[in-house]
Amino acid sequence: MRTPLLAGNWKMYKTTGEARELVEGLLHGLGDVSDRKVLVCPPFTALHTVRDLVQGTPIALGAQDVYIEPQGAFTGAISPVMLRDLGCTYVIVGHSERRAIFGEGDDLIGKKVRAALTHDLMPILCVGETKPQRDAGEAETIVVAQVRAALAGMTPDQIARIVIAYEPVWAIGTGDTATPVDAQAMHATIRQTLGELAGTDVAAAINILYGGSVKPDNIDDLMAQPDIDGSLVGGASLKADSFLRIVHFLPTRG
Ligand code: PGA
C-alpha cells in the first residue's frame, strides 16, 4: 500500500567533488530498488552536480529547505521554482535544526509546506519533541500540535501529497535512537491525527518516516513496525555503504 521511502539528509556536508563520489558509490551498489523509493537531499550547492548524476536512475533529488516565495528580494533564500528547475521533487521542511538554530516557527513552516505543494515539490514535514518534553510526558501533545499547526486549513488533497518525518530531537545525531516500539506508537498517533485532518483513507496512504540515529544495525527493526514507512537518515547517509545497507533494509513488507 505504502512504498517505503529511504531519504538521506546530507545537512551541511559534501563539496561538489565529495557529493559526486558519494552518488557514484550509491549508484554502483543500488541494484534493484523497484519496491522502495530512494532520495538524497544534498546541500543547495551540490544539487546541480547530483542532478546530473541521478537523472534517469531510481534516486530522486530533494533539497533541505525552501523559502515561501517564487522569487524576489530575499537575500540568501532559495525558491521552490529554483528547486524544481534543478530537478528536485522533494524538500525537507521544518527540520529541528531549522527550528532550533534558525528560529523557524510553525507559522513559517506551514507556509513552506504550502509553497512546496504549490510548486509540485513533495514536502517532508519534520516534527519531533525534545528530551525535556518527552521526560515530562508531553511528546505526543507536542508532535500532534506541530502536525496540526503545519497542516492547518489544508485540504485532504493537499495533505495527501505530504510526507511526515518523526524525528525526536534527542535522537538526532546522538546515537540514541527511539525504540521501535516508541517510534511505532508515535507514528500511529501521527497517522490518527492525519486521519482527523484528512480522513482515514488519505492518512493510510501517507508515508511517515522515522529519523534520528538510524543506522544499518537498527533499520530492519524500525522498518518492521507497521506505521514506519521509511527513514530520514542524517549521519549514516554520508557514506555509500551505510546508506545502501539502510536502503536495502530487510525484511520487505508486502
Ligand atoms: P541523524 O540525523 O541520522 O544523523 O541522527 C537525522 C536527521 O537529522 O534528519
Rounded CA-CA distance 127/109 in Å is 11
Give the pLDDT band of residue 108 (cuts 50, 70, 90): very high
Nearest to 96 by CA among 51, 50, 133, 122: 133
Q: Is the separation of the CB atoms in 244 and 177 below 8 Å?
A: no
Ligand 1 first shell, C-beta below 6 A? 9, 167, 172-173, 211-214, 232-236
216-224 long-range CB contacts below 8 Å, 24 or more apart?
216/242, 216/245, 216/246, 218/177, 218/180, 219/245, 219/246, 219/249, 220/249, 220/250, 220/251, 221/180, 222/177, 222/180, 222/183, 223/4, 223/249, 223/251, 223/253, 224/180, 224/251, 224/253
**167 belongs to the catalytic site:** yes
pLDDT of 254 over the 50 cut:
no
Position 121 scores a pLDDT of: 98
The tens digit of pLDDT for each residue in 159-177 reads 999 999 999 999 999 988 9
The tens digit of pLDDT for each residue in 109-158 reads 999 999 999 999 999 999 999 999 999 999 999 999 999 999 999 999 99
pLDDT of 1 over the 90 cut:
no
Give the pLDDT band of residue 13 (cuts 50, 70, 90): very high
The tens digit of pLDDT for each residue in 15-67 reads 999 999 999 999 999 999 999 999 999 999 999 999 999 999 999 999 999 99
Q: Enter the pTM of the model.
A: 0.97
Q: Calculate the average pLDDT of the chain.
A: 96
In Å, what is the CA distance from 235 to each residue of 5, 54, 166? 17, 21, 16
What's the burial of 182, exposed, middle or buried (CB within 10 Å: 0-12/13-18/19+)?
middle
Q: Which of 6, 65, 92, 172 to mutate to test the pocket of ligand 1 (most atoms within 8 A of CB)?
A: 172
